[in-house]
Amino acid sequence: MAKRLEDITIEELQIIAFANITDFVTLGHTVRIKPITQIPPQKLTAIASITQKRGETTIKLHDKVKALSLIGDYFGLFSDFNAAIACLRKYGLHVYQDDSGKWLLSEEVTHQSQSETFC
């Protein structure tokens, strides 16, 4: 079964968001580019460009913060609802849903283990 475009897009963004420069180079007294055989093929998605100039090789990765932001937007992490919940938590209040789906506010964390839900 073919993957949906939505799933492929999120997978590509995750590769970019969670890539680390050490996926591509070895750090020590000097920086060495790893042989292509030591880099998992899916990680290559994170590379924006490779340039060579005057004997120096530069690897530029795609924008990690932008990828994280797009993933966060997709999953609603930065919604007004979640911002409001974060603000309430800052002041020691917790929002949760009871078994009937009714939203409640509490000063106790005991309800967190129940169905605390985020949009």
52, 9: one domain: yes
62, 9: one domain: yes
31, 85: one domain: no
- Structural domain containing residue 28: 5-67
At 20-30, the pLDDT tens digits run 999 999 999 99
At 106-115, the pLDDT tens digits run 887 765 444 4
Distance CA 44, CA 23 (A): 9
57, 94: one domain: no
Confidence tier at 2 by pLDDT (50, 70, 90):
confident
Q: Is the pLDDT of residue 14 over 70?
A: yes
13, 55: one domain: yes
> The tokens of 74 are what?
């997709």
- The domain tally of the chain equals 2
Place of tokens 């790893």: 34
Place of tokens 């680390």: 20
